[in-house]
Structure 1
Amino acid sequence: MELPERIDAVEPSGDTSQAVYRFALRQTAVTAADVAAALALDVGAAEDHCAQLADLGLLAEDTRASPTVFRAVDPETAGERVLGPLERVIRTRRQRAEEVRTRLLEFSQVYEEQPVRTDSRGTVEFLASLSSTRAAIVELAAKCESEVLTAQPGGGRRAEVLEEAISRDEAMLRSGVRMRTLYQHTARFSPGTREYVDRVSRMGAEVRTLDDQFIRVLLFDRRAAVIGVESDPGSAIIVREPNLIHFIAETFDLWWLNAAPFPLEWSNQEVADIADQLKQRIALLLSEGLTDQTIAKRMGMSVRTCRRHIAEIMERLGAKSRFQAGFLLSARTEVFTAPEEPGAPEDR
């Protein structure tokens, strides 16, 4: 299912477009020429504004008439018509991302069962220590020619890790390598991570965040991938097998489509929106009966912060226990959220 072609690019200029919409509301039907005459616009500008409002669903256009006739539509009806397909696409992609996550976990379990860590062609290699993992990443980064994709779950990154990464990443960016990086939403509240993102973004890197956990992976030129080992954070697997590389790249692209851009400057509303998304995800995981520790790990935050969010959700539900909260959440669809203060750390 594809997104509507133009809705994601609609940016009507506020005052003029509102004036066009207000004029259309007072008429049974209007043309672009009517709008131009009434609002002292040239016909081309009037056509653009009518087209933009039509993309938003606020004007219904009848192309059978000549010239095209527009009729005003109330915003609620417009929202149902335009946002409905988009929301269905998002739900479908999130479901697909969950399916991919499950498949990746199945691959990890299969790998862990194998006594030999390298196949006969040397396309899969196990790195048993943090030093060997870092050395491999440095080597792959030095040879990278066109693209590096990075998925780093777990919230904000440690200062020493960022210091090690920044010079390597800046060198790749200076050489023309395209860089896309994924974090979890909680990384937005880490000052060190924000500083790192600011530096690499100014050099052309793209950074986005997701509300849920994903697998740690670095993919170089879609030829070699370094994948973290769940049971041993210092270890890693290097994959060069083409079919697995294709699967990893497709998975990353799915994550990327569902992620939101990492903002370099905050607004109160953006902070509130991210806090709401975090609480929505925590509420969902709570309704599934997961423990505080499991939820915290999935969300990339400390257990203490996770329990604070859970307490706020339970208070809004009026629940006296986790069991009661889970029951109420499974029976209700409302989102129980409250805005956070700007800059409040999510992983304390």
Structure 2
Amino acid sequence: MAGHGVDEHPHGADRLCEAGDRVYSRAVRRGRVPRTDAETVPCLLELALLHPDPDDMEWLVPTSPQEVMTRLLRSVYDEVSAGQRRVGSAVAAFEWYAGLGRQLRPAAAEGGAAIRVLDGLARIQAAMDEATEACTREVLTVQPGGIRREAELSEGLHRALALRGRGVRMRDLYTHVARHGQGLLNYLELMGDAVEARTLDEVIDRLILFDRTVAFIPANTDRTMALELRHPALIAYLVTVFERLWRLAIPLTAPLPDTGIEGISHRERSIAALLAEGHQDAVIAERLGISVRTCRAHIARLSETLGAASRTQLGVRIAQAGLDGPSGPAPTSVSVPGPGSPTAR
């Protein structure tokens, strides 16, 4: 029966259809319902009356009736002339649900406020816009991957410009590969002093922190779901992670340090260190924000430069050249063993 949308259940959040009323009432009484219970009434998810349980996404938990009523009244009062009748019906409807909701455990309600699952791009965008409007001081972001596409940068440009207009300071972390994208350079030029950017060999998954009070992180691999975090301990932890990465990162305006080994680039040194840790090509490519094909081309150049005829031999050469440690300038005394040297045999 999946596929029935709001069009087949015509109503607003203030007056549910019969099927929606049954499922939502059951969810409020019990605290949650299996996701399968809502398959015939997707209107409840589309109207944000149900959302995934952060602890088990096969279950749906109800948005508290009080929160729903507040959301409705906010929009209703924006349309006073057309919405006065809806105010009364919304209050009447959700007073009934509020009575059912007294059975909810306080711990569940607290958890819902601290961690909220945003299911779908529309809900993610709406939550981000709301956090942007409330932000007054600082935004910290981590942007993984390689060169940022123009579409990605344009998607959040309206939020960035709104923040700049209010004097909000922004700090962004990217991978070194992002330095080669003209779109990012254009974006930073447009934002001016409002944004400071730094880069690392690799960063954590996407993170956006507003005023050190609310954070957004992906909840699945294709980023169609996100977690909105407001728990102070989680926020403090994420801020600490960001600040430590920031201290290690290199300002976008500064050049990357020389490896100290002729013929080996900074990126190839990073690849060498990950190879020494035993990672496969695909993992290395993902962590550095490059394609697998580009990664393998760098590995081939490393092998040629270090005089390695096999992957096993390459590992030995990497250790001999001191490339198996943290990235940074190598000692100038390090020499790369050539094919004719005793250690190359």
TM-score clears 0.5: yes
TM-fit CA distance, 1:324: 2.2
Is 2:296 aligned against 1:307?
Answer: yes
TM-fit CA distance, 1:115: 5.7
Is 2:127 aligned against 1:136?
Answer: yes
Deviation string for 1:190-242 (max 9, x for gaps)?
11111112222x14211111111312100011110001235232221110001
Three-state SS of the structure 1 residue aligned to 2:170 is strand
TM-fit CA distance, 1:331: 4.3
TM-fit CA distance, 1:134: 1.9
Seen in structure 2, the aligned counterparts of structure 1 residues 115 and 240 have a Cα distance that, compared at 3 Å, is farther
- Map residues 124-163 of structure 1 onto 2, 5 A cutoff: 124-163=115-154
Identity of aligned residues (%): 38
Seen in structure 2, the aligned counterparts of structure 1 residues 194 and 293 have a Cα distance that, compared at 3 Å, is same
Q: Which moved more, 1:153-162 or 1:181-190?
A: 153-162
RMSD over aligned CA atoms reads 2.6
Write the distance in 2 (CA, Å) between the matches of 1:329 and 1:117: 51
Check conservation: 1:151, 1:215, Cα contact below 8 A.
Answer: yes
Aligned amino acid, residue 258 of structure 1: L
Write the distance in 1 (CA, Å) between the matches of 2:157 and 2:291: 25
Partner of 2:196: 206
TM-score for the superposition, normalised by structure 1: 0.58
Write the distance in 2 (CA, Å) between the matches of 1:322 and 1:213: 26
Is 2:158 aligned against 1:167?
Answer: yes
Partner of 2:181: 190
Check conservation: 2:269, 2:323, Cα contact below 8 A.
Answer: no
Aligned amino acid, residue 120 of structure 1: A
Deviation string for 1:119-178 (max 9, x for gaps)?
531210112222322221111111111111111010222211211222210210110111
Aligned amino acid, residue 131 of structure 1: A
Write the distance in 2 (CA, Å) between the matches of 1:170 and 1:188: 21
Flag the structure with more relative contact order, 1 or 2, with Cα contacts below 8 A and sequence separation at least 6. 1
Write the distance in 2 (CA, Å) between the matches of 1:280 and 1:222: 34
TM-score for the superposition, normalised by structure 2: 0.59
Partner of 1:290: 279
Check conservation: 2:146, 2:178, Cα contact below 8 A.
Answer: yes
Write the distance in 1 (CA, Å) between the matches of 2:121 and 2:310: 42
Check conservation: 1:288, 1:326, Cα contact below 8 A.
Answer: no
Three-state SS of the structure 2 residue aligned to 1:196 is helix
Seen in structure 2, the aligned counterparts of structure 1 residues 177 and 308 have a Cα distance that, compared at 3 Å, is same
Return the match for 1:245 from 227, 235, 253. Answer: 235
Three-state SS of the structure 1 residue aligned to 2:270 is helix
Check conservation: 1:149, 1:220, Cα contact below 8 A.
Answer: yes
Seen in structure 2, the aligned counterparts of structure 1 residues 120 and 166 have a Cα distance that, compared at 3 Å, is same
Deviation string for 1:247-271 (max 9, x for gaps)?
00111101110111112xx8xxx36
Q: Which has the larger radius of gyration?
A: 2
TM-fit CA distance, 1:276: 3.0
Q: Name structure 2 gaps, 5 residues minimum.
A: 1-53, 62-107, 328-345
Write the distance in 2 (CA, Å) between the matches of 1:113 and 1:318: 52
- Map residues 89-128 of structure 1 onto 2, 5 A cutoff: 119-121=108-110, 122=112, 123-128=114-119
